Amino acid sequence: MAELIAITAPADQEEGTEMVVGTWLRQVGESVTLNEPLLEITTDKVTVEIAAPASGILREVLKSADQPIQAGEVLGRIEAGAAPPADPAPARGPASTSESAAAAAELSPAVRRLLAEHGLVATQISGTGRGGRITLQDVEAHLASRTGTPGPSTPAKAAAPSAYPSRKVPHSGMRRSIAQHMTQSVAVAPHVTAVFEADLSAIAAHREAHRAGYEADGIKLTYTAYFVRATVAALQAVPEANSRWHDEALELFDDCNIGIATALPQGGLILPVIHRAQTLDLRATAERLQDLTQRARVGALSPNEVQHGTFSISNHGVSGSLIAAPIVIPQPQSAILGIGKLERRPVVRMRGEKEVVEVRPMCYVTLTIDHRVLDGFQANAFLTRWVEEIEGWG
């Protein structure tokens, strides 16, 4: 009797992370090779390729694209050692001159539906997925770049004179997961936000003095690296911010595992984690930060690199906002730091007994807390220590 080998979902997913089947890269009846990429699993944090556990023929697909799955769940089965038939079944039709059969075989059902709906072919779109595969986000981005008028093969739809022109873009698995987690977080945790202001003059001067030396070693010295170092100091001063709520007790973490919210080119956010940040200096922090964020944007992070975060930072100011509040806390963490846009503003400073107005590089910084875990005075103590570290740098 032929041996059927189970294809299973990762068993080490972090609690609270929902997994969804992304794209099957092989169809039932096709041959597969041990350790070749077989399908993609998508979470709100990362896309992971699942490798074939054996060589043979893909016999069963138990979970199709966009279906939610559980850790360790069986997704399909391979008949180990089996070979494809000597006389393959005839093709269902001639390949389009504008789309190769190989490219078409790698399109997910959701991508196929969206292409058909708008009268597109795959070669009109550049793929950003692994191996150049076209993702749902690639099609959405292509559609958004157009004028919004129906494609040539899309039949016009009658509309009432008062109707507004519109179109529907299917949600990606990542967007659905983000929506679920954000809704769950605000439902579970009472969010409260404290706002402070920080003078970035000291770290700006330090960065200007050391940036060239870092770059000579291939390291980009960003403001975020300083923010991570100040966050470690603040977490050590207020350990309740580095914790997790349980009904019977508060779990305090010894390690500062700091997630950095990173926007993805195709949309959505991911939180790569700097593990044990308290053991790093500024240089090591900048190097780790650069590596994680670069690989996050091209989908090259491992599951462990987006798991086990104990605190998060959203440096939303890089996209222009001054204040964002509340920033939703990634569960099951207890707080998230928000850092607004650096802006040169006039501020009052004491020079001896005299007040003077000076123009300084300033930013607003917020701490959104789970009010079950922290109170206002603890949030203020955290931000006080954070600002002291930033303004006293060097």
- The set of catalytic residues is 371, 375
DSSP state of 306: G
User: For residue 187, how far is the Cα from the chain centroid?
Assistant: 21
- Which of helix, strand or coil describes residue 184? helix
Cα–Cα distance, 180 to 175 (Å, whole number): 9
d(CA 62, CA 166): 35
Q: What is the residue-wise DSSP string for 232-301?
A: HHHHHHSGGGSEEE-SS-EEE-SS--EEE-EE-TTS-EE--EETTGGG--HHHHHHHHHHHHHHHHTT--
Alpha-carbon dihedral angle through residues 42, 44, 48, 54, given to the nearest 10 degrees: -50
CB burial of 106-121 (b: ≥16 within 10 Å; e: otherwise) equals bbbebbeebbebbebe
Residue type, 126: S
**How many C-beta atoms lie closer than 10 Å to residue 374's C-beta?**
23
Q: What is the DSSP letter of 180?
A: H
C-alpha closest to that of 319 among 342, 298, 292: 342
Strand partners, 270: 262
Start-to-end CA distance of the chain, whole Å, equals 71
- Residue 383, classed as helix, strand or coil, is helix
CA 160 to chain centroid, in Å, comes to 40
